[in-house]
């Protein structure tokens, strides 16, 4: 965006109005440093007005490619066979303006970084089906009831030719002190063509994750004290051995988790796992 608009911004910088004697007049800037500062400010304003998404990835399946678009934190969009799947849309609708409208919206839990009502209300959900656990359904606006499918742990549904299975997500130990109690939220396993994708939700390295089989692509959370450490995430990944793994949801109480450390730990244990590190907080670091 910056490179494409640079000439226009220089022209603007050369002809900006400046105040002289109490009146606005057009005066060419001669100071090169001032031009540079103004060009930078224009670029900054444009970039923040039109948030740039991280470059998407492509996953090949037997029935067409999956486009994996990181959005923000735990939010991502999957596109496959003309269908668009939104996972935990969050942080405003602006980032979704250039993306296809959702056909399916999966929400994992009731916390605001997963069930973001303001973002959902700002999206075009006219043709969308919402797939949510009961705890989320109980908090959604009543007018969405007819487009909502409730999935609790262990349930499976097929929507738009996509199999979606809800699995547990929770903290350890699973007791009354847990931020995420067992049964409240969902992780999801999606089958798209011949590929199985796992969305962890907010969880620790629970037995249900470690025992997963034949996962092609996994999206794994990693932020303390809410979910897992780098060591927990890596250990669980080494148990269920996805072919590709993305670290996401990696900002916690103390800042960003060390995703490079996560990658190192995974590949030290199994060099055949493709660990993909994408920027899920573009422009914030």
Sequence ranges of the domains in the chain:
2-49, 57-276
The pLDDT tens digits for 227-238 are: 999 999 999 999
Angle (deg, nearest 10), helices 230-240 and 259-269: 30
Strands (E), 21-112: 23-26, 57-59, 66-72, 75-80, 83-87, 104-106
Give the pLDDT confidence score for residue 256 in this predicted structure: 93
Calpha distance 167→84 (Å, rounded): 21
The CATH fold assigned to 57-276 is Metallo-beta-lactamase; Chain A (3.60.15)
The pLDDT tens digits for 63-78 are: 999 999 999 999 999 9
Give the pLDDT confidence score for residue 16 in this predicted structure: 45
What is the mean predicted confidence (pLDDT) over 173-188? 88
Calpha distance 256→279 (Å, rounded): 11
What is the mean predicted confidence (pLDDT) over 14-38? 47
The pLDDT tens digits for 30-88 are: 455 555 544 444 444 433 434 679 999 999 999 999 999 999 999 999 999 999 999 99
Calpha distance 190→196 (Å, rounded): 6
Q: Is the pTM of this model over 0.75?
A: yes
SS3 of residue 142 by DSSP: helix
- Whether the upstream peptide bond of residue 225 has omega within 30° of 0, thus cis, is yes
The pLDDT tens digits for 251-276 are: 988 889 999 999 999 999 999 999 99
Q: CB–CB of 69/76 below 8 Å? A: yes
């Amino acid at each position: 965006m910056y490179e494409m608009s640079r000439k226009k911004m220089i022209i603007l910088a050369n002809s900006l109005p400046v105040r002289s004697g109490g009146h606005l007049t057009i005066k060419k800037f001669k100071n090169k440093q001032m031009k540079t500062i103004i060009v930078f400010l224009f670029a900054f304003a444009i970039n923040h007005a039109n948030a740039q998404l991280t470059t998407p990835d492509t996953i090949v399946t037997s029935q067409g490619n999956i486009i994996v678009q990181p959005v923000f934190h735990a939010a991502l969009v999957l596109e496959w066979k003309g269908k668009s799947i939104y996972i935990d849309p969050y942080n405003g609708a602006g980032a979704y303006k250039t993306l296809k409208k959702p056909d399916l919206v999966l929400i994992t839990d009731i916390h605001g970084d997963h069930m973001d009502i303001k973002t959902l209300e700002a999206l075009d959900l006219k043709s969308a089906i919402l797939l949510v656990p009961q705890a989320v359904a109980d908090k959604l606006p009543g007018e969405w009831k007819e487009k909502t499918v409730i999935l609790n742990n262990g349930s499976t549904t097929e929507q738009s030719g996509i199999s979606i299975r809800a699995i547990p997500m929770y903290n350890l130990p699973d007791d009354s002190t847990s931020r995420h109690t067992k049964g409240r939220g969902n992780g999801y396993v999606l089958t798209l063509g011949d590929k199985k994708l796992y969305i962890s939700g907010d969880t620790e390295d629970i037995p249900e994750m470690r025992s997963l089989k034949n996962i092609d692509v996994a999206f794994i959370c990693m932020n303390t004290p809410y979910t897992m450490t780098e060591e927990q995430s890596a250990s669980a990944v080494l148990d269920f051995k996805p072919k590709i793994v993305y670290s996401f949801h990696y900002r916690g109480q103390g800042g960003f988790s060390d995703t490079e450390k996560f990658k190192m730990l995974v590949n030290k244990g199994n060099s055949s796992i493709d660990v993909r590190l994408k920027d899920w907080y573009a422009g914030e670091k």
